[in-house]
Amino acid sequence: MAGLAIAGALADHFERVIVLERDRLPDQAVPRAGTPQSRHLHVLLPGGQRALIDLFPHFERDLTNAGSVPLRMSRGIRMEIPGLGPLPSRDFGWFLYCASRPLIELITRRQAERLTNVTMRPGCRVLEIIATSDGTMITGIVYEDADGRQETLAADLVVDASGRGAPTLDLLRSSGQPMPDEIVIGVDLHYTTTTFVIPQDASTDWRGIATHPHAPERSRGGYMLPIEGNRWVLTLAGRLGERPPAEPEGFMDYARRLETQTIYNAIKHAERQGGFERYGYPASVWRRFDRLRAFPRGLLPVGDSICRFNPVYGQGMSVAAQEARLLNQLLKRRATKPDPLAGLALAFFSESLPLVEAPWNMSAVPDLVYPETRGERPADFESRLQYNGALMRAAMRDPAVHRLMAEVQQLLKPPGVLQDPAVDRLVQLELSQMAAE
Ligand SMILES: Cc1cc2nc3c(=O)[nH]c(=O)nc-3n(C[C@H](O)[C@H](O)[C@H](O)COP(=O)(O)OP(=O)(O)OC[C@H]3O[C@@H](n4cnc5c(N)ncnc54)[C@H](O)[C@@H]3O)c2cc1C
């Protein structure tokens, strides 16, 4: 997803953009080996959706025509918060387009393929990024094509959207350049996912649902969205030893023992389609490229190669899309410079910092609530936790706070908007009530 969005961003500024992908790319919306996560629920947050529309004006139209399910926010999604109940159903006036990850990716790929100066090269595995002898200037890459032949491709800019960022790290390491610090939050999260046919008598009160666990005592969560083909995709999650079973009886029993019975009641008579898919996610990792003082000219890691977010919060694709939009703006601003690529990476790392930091902080605090989670707790951890609880209570009561909180969580607005004095007053009120209880 990062690579496709970036291709859209680069097409405005470079003569030729070549996307090298090690997988053969399917014509249909089906999972593939290079993205095993694509078998699991993927939500494209409205903030990411808008970034993709800015890059590809037909993205929303094409995703809708391909059968994605538009959910009116927040009415369409039942958010079950332990101890508080479901967040009230309110109309914020924007839509979440629900589709399988393979469909979201296929529609994004179609947009990139339509650009005349973008070429897809499937079946091509990048082996190495090549640079001048001191490693400070990138000259291209070496890749292996579908027939096993090694080829060299010269390039002015190499964007590493490989997900793991291994090519970038290998280059830095082999040329003796400083490596980025890594912040790691060990969550030991486990997913089991399957799909159901949406029954005709399904509830009309909600179309998607998130049943959050009662942390830190319990870690079982359930997340279900409608996708193309009249299906629900249901992911059951657990942490730190809780593994949702991957066989029918155990899976249903796990669903029955979530914080509420809403998901279980919805699926207990529904027809299951396909099997059970598992995914183990040990840790979120943020590589602090933004702290480096120098970086090779002509190289740029993006997306998961910079930061892998805990998937439960559904942020990764959207952050990647927002990074791509930022890169487009950055290249536009630098176009008149004598060498627009000189210092591009450091400027990108610095300007994209808020795009990464906000979602990282939003997921790190709830993740660190579990005592077993590995990672450094911020000094003000307890007060952040209290603040989050109070904000949620204020959102329950007040539609304006609810809307603002949703805008921040869905990456439409930066967290700073929550410092609005009217919102802060309501949060402070909740905090004092919580202290009195
Ligand atoms: C279980 C799970 C659920 C998730 N749910 C959500 C969600 O709900 N919402 C959300 O926004 N995000 C979600 N994410 C995160 C999301 O999948 C990623 O953040 C997003 O795909 C952006 O990643 P990327 O493009 O950087 O890497 P990837 O999507 O991993 O893509 C990397 C691509 O590079 C290719 N590649 C790798 N190495 C090479 C090489 N050497 N040569 C050529 N090609 C190569 C791979 O085949 C792949 O196609 C989830 C992640 C997981 C693990």
> 196-218, pLDDT tens digit by residue?
999 999 998 999 999 999 999 99
pLDDT greater than 90 at residue 139: yes
The rounded distance, in Å, linking the Cα atoms of 356 and 304 is: 10
The CA R_g of the chain, rounded to the nearest whole Å, is 22
Amino acid 367: pLDDT: 96
| Contacts made by residues 166-172, CB under 8 angstroms, sequence distance 24+ | 167/126, 167/128, 167/129, 167/141, 168/129, 168/299, 168/301, 168/305, 170/128, 170/129, 171/128, 171/129, 171/131, 171/135, 171/138, 171/296, 171/299, 172/135, 172/296
2 touches ligand 1 (CB under 6 Å): yes
Q: Do 229 and 360 belong together in one domain? A: no
pLDDT greater than 90 at residue 157: yes
Choose the residue to mutate in 6, 18, 22 for probing ligand 1, maximizing ligand atoms within 8 Å of C-beta: 22
Q: Which of 418, 408, 328, 312 lies closest to 51 in space, CA to CA?
A: 328
Residue 85 lies in a domain: yes
Residue 372 lies in a domain: no
Q: Where does 198-345 show beta strands of DSSP type E?
A: 208-211, 221-227, 231-239, 272-288, 299-301, 307-308
Choose the residue to mutate in 104, 125, 317 for probing ligand 1, maximizing ligand atoms within 8 Å of C-beta: 317
Q: Do 220 and 355 belong together in one domain? A: no
Q: Do 12 and 134 belong together in one domain? A: yes
The rounded distance, in Å, linking the Cα atoms of 146 and 166 is: 21
Q: Tell me which residue range forms the domain holding 258.
A: 184-283
Residue 376 lies in a domain: no
Q: Do 54 and 90 belong together in one domain? A: yes
Q: Do 162 and 57 belong together in one domain? A: yes
Residue 370 lies in a domain: no
Choose the residue to mutate in 304, 306, 307 for probing ligand 1, maximizing ligand atoms within 8 Å of C-beta: 304
Q: Do 26 and 94 belong together in one domain? A: yes
* Residue having the nearest C-alpha atom to atom 27 of ligand 1: 163
Amino acid 202: pLDDT: 95
Q: Which of 131, 133, 113, 135 lies closest to 122 in space, CA to CA?
A: 113
39 touches ligand 1 (CB under 6 Å): no
Residue 316 lies in a domain: yes
Tell me, in angstroms, the distance from the centre of ligand 1 to residue 271's CA: 29
Residue 400 lies in a domain: yes
Q: What is the mean pLDDT of residues 53-76?
A: 97
Tell me, in angstroms, the distance from the centre of ligand 1 to residue 162's CA: 8
The rounded distance, in Å, linking the Cα atoms of 223 and 416 is: 28
Amino acid 344: pLDDT: 98
Question: Does the global pTM surpass 0.95?
Answer: yes
Q: Do 354 and 417 belong together in one domain? A: no
Q: Hey, which residues does 194 pair with through a beta bridge?
A: 234
Q: How many CA atoms lie within 13 A of 22 on its CB side?
A: 13
The rounded distance, in Å, linking the Cα atoms of 77 and 225 is: 8
Cα separations (Å) of 374 from 186, 283, 333?
Answer: 5, 9, 40
Residue 288, SS3 per DSSP: strand
The rounded distance, in Å, linking the Cα atoms of 139 and 117 is: 20
101-114 vs 2-10: helix crossing angle, rounded to 10: 20
Amino acid 282: pLDDT: 97
Q: Do 244 and 195 belong together in one domain? A: yes
* Residue having the nearest C-alpha atom to atom 46 of ligand 1: 34
Q: What is the CATH number of the domain that holds 244?
A: 3.30.9.90
Residue 156 lies in a domain: yes
The rounded distance, in Å, linking the Cα atoms of 242 and 175 is: 42
pLDDT greater than 90 at residue 341: yes
Confidence tier at 240 by pLDDT (50, 70, 90): confident
Q: Could you give the percent of the chain with pLDDT greater than 70?
A: 100
pLDDT greater than 90 at residue 376: yes
Q: What is the DSSP string of 102-162?
A: HHHHHHHHHHHHHSTTEEEEET-EEEEEEE-TTSSBEEEEEEE-TTS-EEEEE-S-EEE-S
Handedness of CA 401, 405, 410, 411 (dihedral sign): positive
344-368 vs 316-334: helix crossing angle, rounded to 10: 160
pLDDT digits (tens, 9 = 90+) for 305-325: 999 999 999 999 999 999 999
The rounded distance, in Å, linking the Cα atoms of 430 and 127 is: 55
Q: Do 53 and 108 belong together in one domain? A: yes
Q: What is the mean pLDDT of residues 382-404?
A: 96
CB atoms within 10 A of CB 11: 20
What is the tally of structural domains in the chain?
Answer: 3
pLDDT greater than 90 at residue 292: yes
Amino acid 437: pLDDT: 87
Residue 68 lies in a domain: yes
**Domain end: 264, 283, 302, which one?**
283
Mean pLDDT over each residue of the chain, to the nearest integer: 97
170 touches ligand 1 (CB under 6 Å): no
Q: Do 401 and 320 belong together in one domain? A: no
Q: Name, in order, each residue with C-beta under 8 angstroms of 299's C-beta and a sequence gap of 6 or more.
A: 129, 131, 138, 157, 158, 160, 168, 171, 345
311 touches ligand 1 (CB under 6 Å): yes
User: Is the bond preceding 178 in cis, omega lying within 30 degrees of 0?
Assistant: no
Q: What is the mean pLDDT of residues 50-74?
A: 97
Tell me, in angstroms, the distance from the centre of ligand 1 to residue 27's CA: 18
pLDDT greater than 90 at residue 427: yes
Q: Do 156 and 179 belong together in one domain? A: yes
Confidence tier at 365 by pLDDT (50, 70, 90): confident
Tell me, in angstroms, the distance from the centre of ligand 1 to residue 1's CA: 6
Q: Do 8 and 105 belong together in one domain? A: yes
42 touches ligand 1 (CB under 6 Å): yes
**Domain end: 262, 283, 304, which one?**
283
H or E element in which residue 187 lies: strand 181-197
pLDDT greater than 90 at residue 40: yes
The rounded distance, in Å, linking the Cα atoms of 326 and 354 is: 11
Specify the amino acid at residue 285: V
pLDDT greater than 90 at residue 274: no
**Domain end: 261, 283, 305, which one?**
283
Tell me, in angstroms, the distance from the centre of ligand 1 to residue 249's CA: 31
